Amino acid sequence: MKTWQRYSSIILPILAVAALAIWPTITGKAANRESVFTILKAVALASSLNILLGYTGYVSFGHIVFYGFGGYVGLYLLTEQEWSLWTALLAGGLASGLLAFLLGSAILRLRGAYFALATIGINEAMKAFINNFELFGGPTGITLNFSVYKPYGGAAQALQTSFYIAAGLAFLAILLSHFVRTSKFGLGLLAIRENEDAAEVMGVHAPKAKTWAYVLSAIIPGMIGVLFFFKNGNVEPHDAFPLHASIELLVMVMLGGQGTVLGPILGAFAYQGMRGFLVTSDFFKDIQLSVSGALLLMIVLFIPAGAIGWLRHRVPTLRRVLA
Amino acid sequence: MTILLSLQGVSKRFGGLQALLSVTFDLPQGQILGLIGPNGAGKTTLFNAINGIHPPESGRIIFRDKDVTGFKPYQLAKMGMARTHQIVRPLNELSVRENVMVGACFGHENQDLSNASKIAEEVLEFVGLTIRTDQLAGSLNVAQKKRLEMARALAAHPYLLLLDEVLAGLNHSEIDNMIQTVLKIREQGITIIMIEHVMKAMMNVSDRIVVLDYGQQIAEGNPEAITNDPKVIEAYLGDPRLAERLLEEV
């Protein structure tokens, strides 16, 4: 019974991601594969951000910095050092984790709005730095040579492989999210979210716990960055560090329900679905981001706990399954 | 008798306000020390100094034979110090059980989750919150939140428990219950310092009392001695002889 309870909350998330991952294979359409790739990428990013935002209660407006930085490190290693995609993925993730460790030690002593502002500053500072960093190609960025795809069976096969890796990373992200949520470490994070001072008085080593939460929330975005820009073929500063993408991630986590494993998955799926509809519609295609902004406002005003949080609140019997 | 906690000349200043001035006392293991004084006397500040929230500027704090001056709250919690807050600080969106588990997991016994869950059940039964176990902490009333504060602190199985006005805001029967709980805690061998305004309770429960006024320790002793100490009466009621003199002049 205990074991069942412990793992029950991960069943729905796994089923959801598995359904997404096999959907393109069933339909056999390349276009489906590409839109599902975008969703899987969003699931992995949003679930990672949730460790910091949902569990620890720290709002990061610049989480995309880890995606961009990891992507740059990965592409540099792929082109200049001729590393394989696998080692580059790992290195990109670790580089972002290390960046989070260093940043976290410095800015996680800030709380609330001050931390949020600092994260915006970091994203912009990183963009400016990379713009002037010759090793990473400065403003023109890094472009992959077509021959990079050869070991992966050519460009077309590489796209397929990238899709499977994205699915793998999305799984990894939700498993990580689940293990953090159900661990003692996670309980410490939740305590920090609810009241950091009280948590410290009870013995939670808040500076250390927050830093590790930040690191864990940065690693998978770093790997996703490597994967995306590998698939994309090039990386430039404005593609790597778009501030609006950080805010879109916040919308996804808030929409689905922060602090739950399933919430960010649902949020990523719903948001990407909505975005897909908006950018293809004649009326909304230019004001798509305003719709996200309005959506964020509505969530904060009316369902601050997100869809899953709202359901948990309304139907207490669902709590075990929707943890 | 072993001394669990020893304060030596502890002083704390907030800008122009001398919040604590050279507070010095020893606390033997297993005793209940009452800390009283008028509003703003520095009682909670003293708790904050002892448990590392506002470290003192001068003086030393010795806990279990170790100089812990300047230690962080989480380090002191790991060493076996626990406290409740005057203004309750429940972890609202977590269940009552989870709140108590945090105390057990991160306190000085460093329990894992499954042990912590068992300890939480024991402690919740002890403070009488068993039926609330799976409720969200935010949904409790004030008296229950005070008990939750206490349960969280006890779940750590601390050596020293700092109780900051656990009786304030409670009605008569709740006060009686809480006093029984405090006495039972002492029976378990836990040393307690408690801040309280409910004098009758304080006099019945404390082994010894320290009186603070404007950050200074104006009296220390057993409850009877304290109630008859002119300095204490003056701090609370003003100068009694002054009143007499004023009456004579009329």
B92 in contact with A at a CB cutoff of 8 Å? yes
Nearest-by-Cβ selection for B92 from A194, A200, A202:
A194
Q: Identity (one letter) of the amino acid at A218?
A: A
Average pLDDT over residues A101-119: 90
Nearest-by-Cβ selection for B77 from A183, A190, A201:
A201
| Nearest-by-CA chain A residue for B115 | A184
pLDDT tens column, A14-65: 888 888 888 888 887 777 888 899 999 999 999 999 999 999 999 998 899 9
Strand positions, DSSP E, A80-152 = 142-143
**Both structure tokens of A104:** 């976290």
Residue A299 or residue A201, greater confidence: A201
pLDDT tens column, B83-128: 999 899 999 999 999 999 999 999 989 999 999 999 999 999 998 8
A168: pLDDT strictly greater than 60: yes
A160: pLDDT strictly greater than 80: yes
Contact B101 A183 (CB under 8 A): no
B44 in contact with A at a CB cutoff of 8 Å? no
| Contacts (Cβ under 8 Å, ≥6 apart) of A286 | none
Q: What is the pLDDT of residue A90?
A: 96
**A188: confidence class by pLDDT, cuts 50, 70, 90:** very high
Q: What is the pLDDT of residue A305?
A: 81
d(CA A15, CA B172): 55
Residue B223 or residue A211, greater confidence: A211
**A3: confidence class by pLDDT, cuts 50, 70, 90:** low
| Nearest-by-CA chain B residue for A183 | B113
pLDDT tens column, B3-39: 999 999 999 999 888 899 999 999 999 999 999 888 8
| Nearest-by-CA chain A residue for B72 | A200
Contact A194 B93 (CB under 8 A): yes
The mean-pLDDT minimum among A90-99, A302-311, A312-321, B76-85 falls in A312-321
d(CA A22, CA A167): 9
Interface probe, candidates A190, A202, A204, A211, chain B, greatest B C-beta count within 10 A: A202
Q: What is the pLDDT of residue B242?
A: 64
pTM of the complete model: 0.90
pLDDT tens column, B25-34: 999 999 999 9
Write the ipTM: 0.89
| Nearest-by-CA chain A residue for B74 | A203
Q: Which residues of B touch A184 (CB under 8 A)?
A: 105, 112-113, 116
Strand positions, DSSP E, chain A = 142-143, 234-235
A293: pLDDT strictly greater than 90: no
Q: Which residues of B touch A54 (CB under 8 A)?
A: none
**Both structure tokens of A3:** 């074991």
Residue A9 or residue A233, greater confidence: A233
CA distance readout (Å), B147 to A184, A196, B126, B144, B199? 23, 20, 10, 5, 20
A201 in contact with B at a CB cutoff of 8 Å? yes
Contact A188 B106 (CB under 8 A): yes
Average pLDDT over residues B163-187: 88
A314 in contact with B at a CB cutoff of 8 Å? no
Strand positions, DSSP E, A226-298 = 234-235
Contact B103 A203 (CB under 8 A): yes
Q: What is the pLDDT of residue A77?
A: 94
Region of A61 (left: φ > 0; alpha: ψ -120 to 50; beta: rest) is alpha
Average pLDDT over residues A73-88: 92
A321 in contact with B at a CB cutoff of 8 Å? no
The mean-pLDDT minimum among A314-323, B44-53, B65-74 falls in A314-323
A1: pLDDT strictly greater than 80: no
CA distance readout (Å), A73 to A51, A91, A149, A152, A235? 23, 7, 18, 20, 10
A109 in contact with B at a CB cutoff of 8 Å? no
B80: pLDDT strictly greater than 90: yes
A2: pLDDT strictly greater than 70: no
Integer-rounded Cα Rg, in Å, for chain B is 19
Nearest-by-Cβ selection for B102 from A183, A197, A202:
A202
Q: What proportion of chain B, given as a percentage, has pLDDT over 90? A: 61
B49: pLDDT strictly greater than 90: yes
pLDDT tens column, B192-201: 999 988 777 8
Q: What is the pLDDT of residue B115?
A: 93
Q: What proportion of chain B, given as a percentage, has pLDDT over 70? A: 94
Average pLDDT over residues A178-199: 94
Nearest-by-Cβ selection for B156 from A197, A199, A203:
A203
Q: Which residues of A touch B106 (CB under 8 A)?
A: 188, 191, 199, 202-205
**B157: confidence class by pLDDT, cuts 50, 70, 90:** very high
B101 in contact with A at a CB cutoff of 8 Å? yes
A115: pLDDT strictly greater than 50: yes
Q: What is the pLDDT of residue B116?
A: 94
Q: What is the DSSP string of A4-42?
A: HHHHHHHHHHHHHHHHHHHHHHHH--HHHHHHHHHHHHH
Contact A191 B102 (CB under 8 A): yes
**A321: confidence class by pLDDT, cuts 50, 70, 90:** low
d(CA A46, CA A248): 9
CA distance A270 to chain B (A): 25
B80 in contact with A at a CB cutoff of 8 Å? no
CA distance B148 to chain A (A): 13
Q: What proportion of chain A, given as a percentage, has pLDDT over 70? A: 97
A5 in contact with B at a CB cutoff of 8 Å? no
Q: Which residues of B touch A205 (CB under 8 A)?
A: 74, 106
Q: What is the pLDDT of residue B23?
A: 92
Do residues B51 and B162 make contact, with C-beta atoms less than 8 angstroms apart? yes
Q: What is the pLDDT of residue B210?
A: 93
